[in-house]
Chains A and B, each alone.
Chain A
Amino acid sequence: MGKTTTAAATAIHAAKSGRRTLLLSADASHSLSDVLGRRVGASSVEIIPNLTAIEVDAHAEIKRHWGKVHDFLVSLFEHQGIDGVLAEELALLPGAEEITTLFAVDEFARSGDYDFAVVDCAPTDTTLRLLTLPEVAHKSVRLLLKIQRSLAKVMTPLAKGMVSAPLPDAAVFAELEALLYAKLRGLRERIVAEDTTVRLVVTTEKMVIEEARRAFTDLCLFGLRCDAVVINRLLPEAALREPFYREWGDVQKDRTVSIAEAFAPLRILSGVLQREEVVGATALAEHGRDLFSDCEPDALLASVEPISFHRKGDQYSVTIPLPGADLGALNIAKVEGDLLVKSASMNRALKLPRRMALLDLSEAHFRDGVLSVFFRVSPVGSAGTPQGNA
């Protein structure tokens, strides 16, 4: 899709306009070195004046960040007759790598005197979920610790003969909990902060657009702000004159419109397919200038409140900010997994979260420029109404 290229072009453009910029790769499979055309590693490298780049090394970060957790596990394992836990083993535990990467990103971003940090991440894998979930991660961790702790309380006296591990006492758990809680809360605050925003990168291929639509819904679902979609690899006029690409030109025109409908009110940025692959600082700077020809790379590019999803008992709802709209003129329908909102002047197609896609539309309100659409569970035996009007 060009996520790394877009991230690098954004950062280089910002640095060239005088912002002290940090460019971080949080994708487990780093491509930053390849895109910049020079080796970037786990410690900061200056790419051009004002621009520092880092590829986060999750293993090294686990060694740094998880000191206490690590010590705790080592002592537990030693008593079980195992030679201790290597950081490598800890890193294998699901989620450890992703959450550590996020901590590292946060820490790097705070560490230097940066005006602007650009993070290149793989949006459709687990990272996204963790990115959106420090709050829940914290709650789950707390519950797990609670269970562990109650286990430990009973078992410490009982277990002496049974289990060879002396179970850690409540104080150790409390310490662990505090450690994780503070960190996770800090992370969550950073992620939902007013000045943090997500930019999605798509091409005009159907598959890519559909995937980005699902990512957009997931991001909204967990309260993250998105402000722009970059359409990458757009064929310029000169390319469309080639007969081979004629049909691609028609497709491109249609898809550009459907992208605008699917991601509104996000700002659409156009990344044109260059005459050759965009690699190295010079080409990236040029690409960045094209992308941000009429806006600033570090500005919030869409100022509307984000779309949000809610649940109260069995009633689910979505609120969509539509400043200036008129409820009477709105046509609202659910078609397959999409919520369609139409009026004379606009078309919206929002992919619903998986759970809500199974429900029926029930009602809609419009207040202070915000549309609320409610859903309910289909009556048993009914096939569900495919369409409904507000």
Chain B
Amino acid sequence: MGKGGVGKTTLSLATAMAAARSGHRVFVLSTDVAHSLGDALGRPVGPKPVEIAERVVAREVGALDELAQSWTEIQSWLRELLRDEAGEMVVEELLVFPGLEELLALRAICEVEATGDYDVCIVDCAPTGAALRMLRFPDALEVFMQNFFSLERAGAKLLRPLLGGTKAGRLLPSEAFFQAFERLYEDVRRVRAILMDNERTTARLVLNPTQVVIAEARRTFAYLGLYGIATDAVLINRVLPEEAASGYFERWSEREGAGLDEIAASFPVPQFTAPLQNREVIGTHALDQLAEQTFARTDPAEVLMHSRPFRMRKVGTETSIEIDLPGIDKEEIDLQNTGDELHLRVRDVSRRIGLPRSVVGREIAGSRFSRGVLYVRFCP
């Protein structure tokens, strides 16, 4: 994860190369709509998995290709829906409705897992805003499924015989559509479980040692905690090597030192440094070299630090929830209890946390925020 332009794709690929060198079978999946794997490799990568190096397979999730190839039910309904409305526009581009990209990205992770052919899957995420939307998507889908889906489905079932061959009938989604949707929902639930399993999934933050980027990465670190995703390393990209730090770059280099100190103080996880190269890093050879310089002997496929940012504790009759939210001010947290869910908002990001049965309906006895950890206690 990281801000736009920090080098997420390059370091995802470098991580893949290093993991493959340690003997793992690696899958690299780009979920950024603006795919860059192909550009970084200097060869096309598409929606079909391709082998890019020994033991490394890459794929770019393409919404349009997915729609065209595997989602005939959903696609044909959308086409019908847009047929009279789109006029002379290039219809296919319009089929990508809000949420579809997030949905497909999560589903693609699920597919990699289902093959069982890989030891590790590296997800090259979109820039922070969009990546967080992807992580939030399961919550959104839950809202939709719980509240709208069954109603729509029952309605469509009732209406189908009544509307028959009329225009409104054509616009009615078929039962197959609902079934396709339900399968997707199951996939998304499965991926959520994978992502929140701190022993299986960790996030790596990519950043540059500059103020604006560090500030954003600090917030992202906390947001990941909010979603229950453990961050186990930061990858610092484009650090000036000694021979690049003099003359015009003297001030940069001084500031960079301060930036590196700040990174060390802000992120209590292992740090890896990828030096700025004297040419653009394109192609597997250059990526291999960068991997070597960045990870040395470390196997990046391992969980590099074990942590659980989201913890549920039971002491006697009292249940409490603890969430790591480093670098956040108390004023930036908003907490609401709806009875069966906790709505937690941290700055720009919110999450619905389904409560375990033992505390459903209980009042919050108290909450406190101290040293970057939020504690919520429930009444016994």
Contacts and interface: CB of A to CB of B under 8 A. Distances in A.
A207 B9 contact: yes
A239 B280 CA distance: 17
A329 interface: no
Describe B's contact surface by its main secondary structure: helix
Interface string A239-254: 1011111111001000
B33 A125 contact: yes
Contact of A91 (B210, B252, B350): B350
Contacts of B10: 207
A194 interface: no
A277 B211 contact: yes
A147 interface: yes
Given A122-B129, A124-B33, A3 B280 contact: no
Interface residues of A, number: 89
Contacts, number: 224
A46 interface: no
Interface string A68-102: 00000000010010110110110111110110000
Interface in A121-159: 122, 124-126, 129-130, 133, 136, 139-140, 142-143, 146-147, 150-151, 154-155, 158
Contact of B162 (A35, A143, A154): A154
Interface in A200-233: 203, 205-208, 210-211, 214-215, 218, 221
A133 B352 contact: no
Describe A's contact surface by its main secondary structure: helix
A21 interface: no
Contacts of A163: 151, 154
Given A93-B144, A151-B155, A311 B91 contact: yes
Interface string A13-24: 000000000000
Most A CB contacts (10 A, CB to CB) among B93, B250, B282 go to B93
Nearest to A155: B155
Nearest to A309: B90
B377 to A, nearest CB: 22
Contacts of B100: 94
A34 B34 contact: no
A270 B338 CA distance: 52
A147 B34 CA distance: 33
Most A CB contacts (10 A, CB to CB) among B4, B82, B92 go to B4
Interface string B57-83: 000001010000000000000000110
Nearest to A202: B5
Contacts of B129: 27-29, 122, 125
A136 B87 CA distance: 10
Contacts of B40: 207
Given A139-B85, A236-B248, A89 B352 contact: yes
B278 A93 contact: no
A74 to B, nearest CB: 11
Contact of A277 (B210, B219, B343): B210
B330 interface: no
Nearest to A56: B348
Contacts of B132: 28-29
Contacts of A244: 241, 243-244, 278
Contact of A242 (B36, B211, B216, B247): B247
A318 to B, nearest CB: 10
B126 interface: yes
B137 A29 contact: no
Interface in B158-213: 158-159, 162-163, 168, 171-172, 210-212
A197 B360 CA distance: 51
Interface range for B: 35 or more
B110 interface: no
A262 to B, nearest CB: 14
B98 A130 contact: yes
Most B CB contacts (10 A, CB to CB) among A143, A236, A243, A251 go to A143
A4 interface: yes
Contacts of A211: 34, 36, 39
A180 interface: no
Interface of A: 1-5, 27-31, 33-35, 57-59, 77, 80, 82-83, 85-86, 88-89, 91-95, 97-98, 122, 124-126, 129-130, 133, 136, 139-140, 142-143, 146-147, 150-151, 154-155, 158, 162-163, 165, 203, 205-208, 210-211, 214-215, 218, 221, 236, 238-239, 241-248, 251, 275-277, 279, 309-312, 316, 353-356
Closest 9 CB pairs of A and B: A94-B99, A95-B98, A28-B129, A125-B130, A124-B34, A94-B98, A139-B85, A29-B129, A92-B140
Interface of B: 3-5, 9-10, 32-34, 36, 39-40, 62, 64, 81-82, 85-86, 88-94, 96-102, 126-130, 132-133, 136-137, 139-140, 143-144, 147, 151-152, 154-156, 158-159, 162-163, 168, 171-172, 210-212, 215-216, 219-220, 241, 243-244, 246-252, 255, 278-280, 282, 336, 338-339, 343, 345, 348, 350, 352
30 contacts: A1-B4, A2-B5, A28-B130, A29-B348, A59-B350, A86-B338, A89-B352, A92-B139, A124-B33, A143-B85, A147-B172, A150-B168, A207-B36, A218-B93, A238-B248, A241-B248, A242-B244, A242-B246, A242-B247, A244-B243, A245-B244, A246-B278, A279-B212, A310-B88, A311-B89, A311-B90, A316-B90, A353-B93, A354-B64, A355-B92
